[in-house]
Structure 1
């Protein structure tokens, strides 16, 4: 048996040529999967001033070269603040939104224009020796965002602060199909020709929803959402995020709300990342573990009954454990005939864990073939599979589970199993017991 135990790795060790080739081969399924997909990438105005933003731009250029359709949505809050300060214009906030009067609107126009020009110039770099040499990226911006006034709330007139009314998604799609990067600003225009100051989160989520984007990537200061202990929360379903939304404040709350709204309205996944962490964007898109916090409609790791199509993945998962003598070797033919007994956890097409339930008597069943991929030990996959097996066993009215193991007795004890004798096994299992393996026997009453 393979326990769900932590595995260590030296992530700071530089890649040698062999490791690089291995990583590149492992990333190829993601390169193929992302080609032709539409990603909306949102970043705050703070990102543009960060030292790592040059690397972010290079990663965006790489995604474009790999055939990903990109819509960039930029904010300009610090740039607007700086322009207002230069012009000695006061700007008030109410309920977290800037009140944009006529004077402040001029500062918004100037700041948004400067930020947009800065991004376009950075995406135009193509000098020899640079990582973007030969990229020849075309960036298109325009009046793709139709806005409406936010109006008067609790007696406060927001004036030129607005909300997204419509995204010209068809026009954007046509530009994306021509391999352009579309750049959207935190500003929109009304049919009467007025300009409105919008939140970048509003533009990003509405763009992702209207375009039916495959993913919304939100780049903020922090590397995703964190729990009370300061640890990054790797993934949340929309329901889980809604339940804990009150735990977040400031930028984290704004980003979480944008991700939640997008996912609830049809965007399959939203990811919260840090613009200050070098390579976070690429790690999220080209590794199974990803980066930051993933928000999805359903759990990212799917626990389900195995099908005949999973045989190859299960065999690949079991082989290292069979080679070490931890598990008894199973042939493909045997596994195909017994596949209905298996449950698997799948992540991006990879079988990361499996377990099986074998009936023996009306009262006893065996928990067998518990295996967790070496890259995912230390997670709760083993416990999740055990819970699933126990649930199925109870539904079938079994009163006891038993398991045979040579290496991971302590893990089963931690899960409530109690050591027993071979003589307590069903007669059929006793007759098949391999004395040379000398497996320990454990039981759990359901």
Structure 2
């Protein structure tokens, strides 16, 4: 790590405290290519050999951006972000984070510095920054391999391409769902039905093209139906389905719904891995039960929000 001095800021001489000037990412990559683990201390040296004390967050951010890392994970005494209702925020996009900070103000202490450095890393190209509690056994594994995780993940632009649908999206939605309807994966819907229900849909858009959709229907018993979840075959495996599910779950919570159910014939295990449990037609709200298609014999899965 090549460093430079902070020098004097507002009359305060920071002496041996420094900032990262450059990361030798080529040497790090070479070590990683040889299956070595690279440990970096919060120390840096100037070209003349002077040593400087560095902030570990600065070292981590600079290294992650130099390596073009997909993930940057911070383990600290922070349990992540929580909304005004005290609910854990599992994922937040940069625009949402800025809005959150505008409403709540910059928090004190470690969380303040972590949020600022996380936002900087995302702006500089790191895909995801995770804030995890260091005192929770297995926190990294839970965060990476479970649906809800244990900390807060900060991403760049979730809001820009994951949004509520408009009437202009009907054609794009039909292009996504029509092949699945023909295969029997989704129940048939015509254009008129999509147009009627367009306000229930969320879509994922890349470069003004619809690549995924999902709908939420609200019922009286504080329960909602996740319907018509579909993504373009070319983007399957990229996490679009997961993001749509989280979007629908967030909308359901905003509406005060306590449970979410889905009817499926082919994708049971995908939903089971994401917190849904097997149920029965009798557990459906009365209005939805009366329209259940006994010929399709869809499995009923329910998740408590």
TM-score (norm 1): 0.42
The 1-side partners of 2:285 and 2:184 are apart by 22
Contact 2:177 2:228 in 1 (8 A): no
Given candidates 377, 380, 395, the residue that maps to 2:250 is 380
Q: Report the alpha carbon displacement of residue 337 of structure 1 after superposing the two structures with TM.
A: 8.4
Contact 2:214 2:248 in 1 (8 A): no
Match status 1:407 vs 2:285: yes
1:5-84 to 2 correspondence within 5 Å?
Answer: none
Match of residue 324 from structure 1: none
Match status 1:283 vs 2:142: yes
The 2-side partners of 1:344 and 1:310 are apart by 13
Contact 1:308 1:336 in 2 (8 A): no
The 1-side partners of 2:92 and 2:66 are apart by 23
Report the CA distance shift for 1:379/1:201 in structure 2 as closer, same or farther (over 3 A).
Answer: same
Unaligned runs of at least 5 residues, structure 1: 1-144, 316-328, 357-368, 385-405, 411-433, 438-446
Q: Report the alpha carbon displacement of residue 299 of structure 1 after superposing the two structures with TM.
A: 1.9
Match of residue 61 from structure 1: none
Unaligned runs of at least 5 residues, structure 2: 166-171, 205-211, 218-224, 230-244, 255-283, 295-305
Q: Report the alpha carbon displacement of residue 220 of structure 1 after superposing the two structures with TM.
A: 1.0
The structure whose Rg is larger is 1
Match of residue 158 from structure 1: 14
Match status 1:207 vs 2:63: yes
Match status 1:248 vs 2:124: no
Match status 1:293 vs 2:146: no
Q: Report the alpha carbon displacement of residue 379 of structure 1 after superposing the two structures with TM.
A: 2.4
Contact 2:80 2:133 in 1 (8 A): yes
* Deviation readout 1:75-108 (Å, 9 max, x if unpaired): xxxxxxxxxxxxxxxxxxxxxxxxxxxxxxxxxx
Contact 1:372 1:381 in 2 (8 A): no
Contact 2:226 2:248 in 1 (8 A): no
Q: Report how many residues are paired.
A: 219
SS at match of 1:184: coil
Report the CA distance shift for 1:211/1:377 in structure 2 as closer, same or farther (over 3 A).
Answer: closer
SS at match of 1:236: strand
Match status 1:193 vs 2:52: no
Q: Report the alpha carbon displacement of residue 213 of structure 1 after superposing the two structures with TM.
A: 0.3
The 2-side partners of 1:333 and 1:310 are apart by 7
The 1-side partners of 2:86 and 2:252 are apart by 25
Q: Report the alpha carbon displacement of residue 158 of structure 1 after superposing the two structures with TM.
A: 0.5
The higher relative CO (CA closer than 8 Å, separation ≥ 6) is in: 1
Report the CA distance shift for 1:307/1:378 in structure 2 as closer, same or farther (over 3 A).
Answer: closer
The 2-side partners of 1:310 and 1:218 are apart by 39
